[in-house]
Structure 1
């Protein structure tokens, strides 16, 4: 059980912190056919009204667009963690599916103040999930440090992280590179950061924007801080398209079990 639980939770946290993120942008649907998404509650800076003065400011403005524009996203990593989702910060509607490879998968849906989580495979069995059910919890009961926290899957958090970027340069009209300081992320996992040490302060990244200055791709070279981790890439698409998240049927919902809440830090 322990061998499954630890990597599952660590994987979710890493994906959420780096992608916030989650880093992740796409158009997949889960087994119930709802539009994908991550959680939400956005606190990004207001949209800029003046032209950016630097490459770093240009990226910050690109991320700020998450605060008022629906977007879909997709996450992929060499470590086997993958995610898909969509988010509308204004309506507090979102869904995110995290694929943990052989350990199973986890889906989170937020509709207003209600958060629903469903797992499949070994990960759910190991951390006390109710098989075949959507587990409900009020978002106010989920701390920021939890892998299922709305802040961990809110793309606006990456906007804050990008403001810590160093050595940001433009490599083309809409391409950038630099390093990120993960230790300054409000949702970073303390245990993970301690294990990474000084390397967490300089994670190489590249980014791309579209003609309207919206983020379309973000890649982080995790190999530089964790051998074997490879690269984590998030792509963002369908900017402005409505996000429709289906509320699970009453018969498919149970209140989140205490064991699962504890495993998720809630």
Structure 2
């Protein structure tokens, strides 16, 4: 079995691929995300602002992300990730869970990037895990050091410190087609995801399946008191073989993230060939 296009840097895109859905036997969305995109009540004390002002506020809200010092979470389709990016030290780390005990195949990954090196600790589970070639070489309980010459230019295994936002929120906000303010720091509207494949948060196959629906996908967003993006929820409608789902991204601790800690040398082995084949 092959897991395609998996990486922390494009984790949100992975949430939306049919390949992941096939690995998730339950086929259900993340219960923590369900219903999270409900806009603020219409009786809010703050009158809705004009579309232009609201959109500019959201465009501005992603500026701080470029500084590369924040923590984040992403969830949807029965999967989740949490981590931090620390541009000052050229490092990042994240923990990813895809599927659960009821899934045909589940994956837990603990990833560490400290330029120019990357490590991953992998745990495979589920009834299909035993059929993966070389599985006994992958569930090691140790960090596997990745050969950068093998993953150079491959978004599926690396972390691009020139594009440090795992969700590509800046690109997504540029695709907003309609937005209104619904409360203090709260917004709702639609965005055109047909132009957002480069964001890493919407897979091209899903965009194709959505057709014209891709041009008007509902979303909600929240800003912190400093006007920085703190939450973005995209409600992807059902299309083709893909069930409707909410994708939720949060940002916290702007400016206070810390450098990723490299794994102790005694806990590191070189990644085997089977690992790279798993992500071909």
Aligned equivalent of 2:268 = 253
- Render the CA deviation track for 1:111-136: whole Å, top value 9, x for unaligned: 12211112112387637535223222
SS of residue in 1 equivalent to 2:260: coil
Aligned equivalent of 2:21 = none
1:199 correspondence with 2:208: no
What are the within-5 Å matches in structure 2 for residues 84-233 of structure 1? Answer: 84-102=82-100, 103-122=106-125, 126=132, 129=138, 131-137=140-146, 141-143=151-153, 145-146=155-156, 148-150=158-160, 154-155=165-166, 157-184=168-195, 185-186=197-198, 187=200, 188-225=202-239, 228-233=243-248
SS of residue in 2 equivalent to 1:162: helix
**Where do 5+ consecutive residues of structure 2 fail to align?**
16-51, 101-105
In the aligned structure 2, how far is the partner of 1:170 from the partner of 1:224?
26
Aligned equivalent of 2:42 = none
How does the TM-score come out when normalised to structure 2?
Answer: 0.68
> Is the Cα contact below 8 Å between 1:169 and 1:178 reproduced in 2?
yes
How does the TM-score come out when normalised to structure 1?
Answer: 0.71
Aligned in 2, Cα 1:260/1:202: closer, same or farther, shift over 3 Å?
farther
Aligned in 2, Cα 1:105/1:228: closer, same or farther, shift over 3 Å?
same
> Is the Cα contact below 8 Å between 2:71 and 2:257 reproduced in 1?
no
> Is the Cα contact below 8 Å between 2:119 and 2:144 reproduced in 1?
yes
Stretch of structure 1 that moved more, 153-162 or 81-90: 153-162
Instruction: State how many pairs are aligned.
Output: 228
**Where do 5+ consecutive residues of structure 1 fail to align?**
20-52
RMSD value, Cα: 3.3
Aligned in 2, Cα 1:253/1:113: closer, same or farther, shift over 3 Å?
same
- Render the CA deviation track for 1:57-95: whole Å, top value 9, x for unaligned: 221221121121521122232x21111111122322211
Stretch of structure 1 that moved more, 148-157 or 215-224: 148-157
Q: Tell which structure's C-alpha radius of gyration is larger.
A: 2
In the aligned structure 2, how far is the partner of 1:91 from the partner of 1:12?
18
What are the within-5 Å matches in structure 2 for residues 227-242 of structure 1? Answer: 228-242=243-257
> Is the Cα contact below 8 Å between 2:69 and 2:84 reproduced in 1?
yes
In the aligned structure 2, how far is the partner of 1:145 from the partner of 1:200?
24
> Is the Cα contact below 8 Å between 1:63 and 1:214 reproduced in 2?
yes
